[in-house]
């Protein structure tokens, strides 16, 4: 069965791609939505243009669709991208990195139903600390590219998800109810390496940081 992946370059969509490939599904393309709205309800935005480098590292074709990112209207742009992928790559299903967001999962499912596509959510309702542990166990190299929740601040940018990251995050989850996987937008990520999926690791060559208080983002260059 041929699948397209809704791909943001972050840990969840990359791990979902890894799981889908591992279970012998044919990943025919990646689909990235580039939103001009940094506060998009649906789509990851930090360093989103660098999914091209990740696609090259995976040797998987990438389709890019732009959206202004208006609430609900951005779904029409997503449907258009998925329709194009179905026509060009003959995909029969869509893989998502949805973990807990009913808002995202329900809307993607509706679009899949409209287009006659299967919807595969390999991370759905996975324990979120277990998800982080899976990244470490499988030697993914994942960095933080954005934060948007108290008490996270600019010092978290560029951190790698490792054992110390989890150790530092746990008391914040307990005290401030931060989602462990950043599912509520508390933090955003970018994957530099994923053994078994990336043919080569990527390296950050430059980073532009902006923000204040508990809202920060890092736009990176990679090679």
pTM: 0.95
Torsion angles phi and psi, residue 160, rounded to 5? -90, 140
Q: Which domain holds residue 140?
A: 128-222
SS3 content of the chain, % helix, strand, coil (to 5): 35, 25, 35
150 and 200 part of one domain:
yes
CATH code assigned at 168: 3.90.1490.10
Q: Alpha-carbon distance 141 to 143, whole Å?
A: 7
116 and 146 part of one domain:
no
3-class secondary-structure state, position 125: coil
3-class secondary-structure state, position 187: strand
**pLDDT attached to residue 120:** 95
- At which of 120, 151, 167 does a domain end? 120
**pLDDT attached to residue 101:** 87
**pLDDT attached to residue 31:** 98
- At which of 120, 152, 184 does a domain end? 120
140 and 217 part of one domain:
yes
- At which of 87, 120, 153 does a domain end? 120
Bridge partners of residue 67, in order along the sequence:
35
175 and 203 part of one domain:
yes
**pLDDT attached to residue 71:** 77
143: left (phi over 0), alpha (psi -120 to 50) or beta: beta
Q: How many domains does the chain have?
A: 2
Torsion angles phi and psi, residue 167, rounded to 5? -60, -40
- DSSP for 149-171, please give it: STT--GGGTT-B-SHHHHHHHHH
139 and 112 part of one domain:
no
**pLDDT attached to residue 69:** 82
16 and 40 part of one domain:
yes
**pLDDT attached to residue 173:** 96
Bridge partners of residue 218, in order along the sequence:
209
CATH code assigned at 76: 3.40.50.620
The helix or strand, by DSSP H or E, that contains position 114, with its residue range, turns out to be helix 102-115
**pLDDT attached to residue 125:** 94
pLDDT along the chain (223 residues), means of 10: 96 96 88 86 83 97 92 89 98 95 92 97 95 97 96 97 98 95 91 97 97 96 96
Four-residue CA torsion sign, 50, 56, 57, 60: positive
């Amino acid at each position: 069965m041929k699948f397209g992946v809704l791909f943001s370059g972050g840990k969840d969509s990359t791990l979902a791609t890894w799981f889908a490939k591992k279970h012998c599904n044919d990943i025919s393309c990646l689909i990235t939505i580039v939103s001009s709205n940094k506060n998009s309800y649906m789509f990851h935005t930090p360093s989103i243009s660098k999914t091209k480098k990740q696609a090259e590292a995976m040797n998987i074709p990438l389709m890019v669709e732009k959206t202004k990112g208006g609430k609900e209207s951005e779904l029409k742009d997503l449907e258009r991208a998925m329709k194009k992928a179905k026509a060009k790559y003959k995909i029969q299903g869509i893989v998502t990195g949805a973990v807990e967001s009913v808002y995202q999962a329900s809307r993607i499912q509706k679009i899949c139903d409209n287009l006659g596509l299967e919807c595969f959510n390999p991370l759905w309702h996975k324990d979120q600390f277990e998800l982080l542990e899976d990244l470490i166990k499988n030697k993914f190299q994942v960095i933080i590219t954005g934060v948007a929740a108290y008490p996270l601040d600019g010092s978290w940018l560029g951190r790698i998800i490792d054992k110390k990251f989890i150790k530092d995050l746990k008391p914040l989850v307990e005290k401030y109810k931060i989602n462990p996987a950043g599912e509520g937008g508390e933090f955003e990520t970018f994957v530099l390496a994923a053994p078994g999926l990336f043919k080569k690791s990527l390296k950050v060559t430059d980073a532009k940081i902006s923000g204040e208080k508990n809202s920060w983002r890092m736009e990176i260059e990679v090679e």
